[in-house]
């Protein structure tokens, strides 16, 4: 799952082909399981136009730097990844299982706000797909309302997957706007069921977040709203960069100042990206089975 890549990569390449052949023989027959490229009506989110994140599709890197990067202003940049091979390939869960299911991945299992049942676990990517992603996807395709109580949630979150699987690097290209600050420093993968949540927080780096498959809802707050977002303190959050507020269901009796915060909302679909400046608060919830990338620069 990463580590000193130069030491293990040659060994990994030598055995990977053998393991892949064994998995191909054992693969369950059936149609490809495709993550839908249209948002199901049952999962849709209504966005108030007054709170919609600004869109700036088709701008140049120079315009991006002048109008958004230099101003630390979040923006939806539109379909930057629309031509990537990843959009067609990675939405097929059976392809992921067949080609890369033999690799172990770290998961967060359970709802983020259910501390009693939330845990970290390592399992084969194929097991993650078979036990979590496929059952959830089948319910989505059948139009079933899974609700908060009916979902089995698991998340491969903020993982440097491409150190494990460098062959996937050929399926996408870093968007050119990342070059305004010296280029990409790190790429993370995020793969999960519907209902995965990244709680409202900020980071110390600039971030380009995009969808490869499925849909996510993102809510953002400017750094100026920090006094209203009630940071965690102490051992749970040593950096002080996570809000205690559930921004979709806020308890205003406990957090009255949160009513003064002003949010910006967007739904991201396949190929679409948003720019999240350093120290910009953001909250992310998967509306469907989802595969995302983020580029830190």
Residue 242 lies in a domain: no
pLDDT digits 0-9 by tens, 4-30: 655 555 555 554 554 444 444 444 434
- 9 by DSSP, 3-state: which? helix
For the chain, list residues with pLDDT below 50.
15, 18-32, 235
Model pLDDT, residue 18: 46
Model pLDDT, residue 31: 44
- Cα atoms in the Cβ-side hemisphere of radius 13 Å centred on 4: 4
Residue 280 lies in a domain: yes
Strand partners, 292: 190, 211
Q: What is the DSSP letter of 62?
A: H
Distance (Å, rounded) from C-alpha 56 to C-alpha 74?
Answer: 10
- Tokens encoding 47: 């966005």
Burial, 296: exposed, middle or buried (Cβ in 10 Å; 0-12, 13-18, 19+)? middle
Residue 6 lies in a domain: no
Q: What are phi and psi of 196, to 5 degrees?
A: -65, 145
Residue 140 lies in a domain: yes
Residue 282 lies in a domain: yes
Model pLDDT, residue 148: 61
Residue 38 lies in a domain: no
Residue range of the domain that includes 81: 48-223+266-296
How many structural domains are present in the chain? Answer: 1
Q: What is the domain-level CATH number for residue 60?
A: 2.60.120.650
Share of the chain above pLDDT 70, in %: 86
pLDDT digits 0-9 by tens, 183-227: 999 999 999 999 999 999 999 999 999 999 999 999 999 999 999
């Amino acid at each position: 799952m990463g580590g000193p890549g130069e030491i293990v990569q040659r060994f990994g390449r030598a055995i990977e082909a053998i393991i892949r052949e064994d998995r191909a023989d054992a693969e369950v027959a059936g149609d490809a399981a495709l993550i839908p490229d249209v948002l199901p009506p049952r999962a849709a989110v209504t966005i108030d136009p007054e709170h919609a994140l600004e869109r700036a599709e088709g701008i140049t890197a120079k315009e991006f730097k002048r109008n958004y990067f230099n101003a630390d202003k979040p923006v939806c940049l539109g379909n930057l990844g629309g031509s990537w091979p990843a959009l067609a390939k990675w939405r097929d869960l059976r392809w992921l299982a067949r080609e890369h299911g033999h690799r172990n991945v770290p998961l967060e299992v359970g709802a983020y706000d259910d501390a009693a049942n939330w845990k970290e676990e390592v399992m084969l990517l194929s097991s993650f797909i078979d036990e979590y992603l496929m059952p959830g996807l089948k319910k989505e395709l059948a139009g079933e309302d899974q609700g908060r109580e009916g979902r089995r949630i698991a998340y491969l979150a903020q993982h440097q997957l491409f150190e494990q699987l460098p062959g996937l690097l050929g399926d996408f290209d870093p968007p050119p706007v990342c070059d305004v600050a010296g280029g990409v420093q790190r790429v993370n993968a995020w793969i999960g069921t519907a209902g995965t949540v990244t709680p409202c927080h900020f980071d110390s780096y600039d971030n380009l977040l995009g969808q490869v498959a499925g849909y996510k809802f993102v809510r953002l707050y400017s750094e100026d709203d920090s006094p209203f977002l009630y940071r965690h303190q102490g051992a749970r959050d040593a950096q002080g960069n996570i809000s205690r507020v559930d921004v979709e269901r806020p308890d205003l009796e406990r957090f009255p100042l949160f009513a003064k915060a002003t949010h910006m909302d967007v739904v991201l679909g396949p190929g679409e990206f948003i720019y999240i400046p350093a120290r910009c608060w953001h909250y992310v919830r998967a509306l469907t089975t989802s595969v995302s990338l983020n580029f830190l620069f």
